Copies of this chain bind each other. A is one copy, B any other.
Amino acid sequence: MTHRGQSAPFRWEGVEVRAYKETGETFRDVTRQELTGAEHGQGTSLRYFEVGPGGHTTLERHEHTHVVIPIRGRGGALIVDRVVPLAPHDIVFVPSWGWHQFRAADDEPFGFLCAVVIDRDRPVLPTESDLAQLRRNPEIAEFIRS
């Protein structure tokens, strides 16, 4: 496979639109598509996540890093210790063990590419103590509301 075209905007030939995670109530209205994987030999996987209007991904952290590039709509993210607005083609780097969460604007879907290493650890959720620490920043407290 050397060329994966699009069957519709933000949908790719031969790529299934899947649930963001199997179970849980830590996210809202998120889909996942796996665009590339082990076949290209770079040790990384490129995924496309799409968050529906008003939706959000899980607030989590892990040892592995993310490189994120929005390509659809507008949204924002908590990255480590601050909230940033995001627009298409911004570059976001989530460092090792940095807290992160992505949210769509209320009136449009927000889609982004996300690169990770294939051999990676599982995400960790915040404890009540972690949440209390994060909420000391009023901007973060507002952003991570459920």
Contacts and interface: CB of A to CB of B under 8 A. Distances in A.
A42 B116 contact: yes
A interface bracket (residues with beta carbon within 8 Å of B)? 35 or more
A96 B10 CA distance: 27
B92 A2 contact: yes
Nearest to A35: B91
Interface in A53-78: 65, 67, 69, 71, 77
Nearest to A48: B89
Nearest to A4: B91
B89 A10 contact: yes
Given A2-B84, A5-B90, A46-B67, 10 more contacts: A2-B92, A3-B77, A3-B90, A3-B91, A3-B93, A40-B95, A41-B117, A42-B44, A43-B43, A71-B71
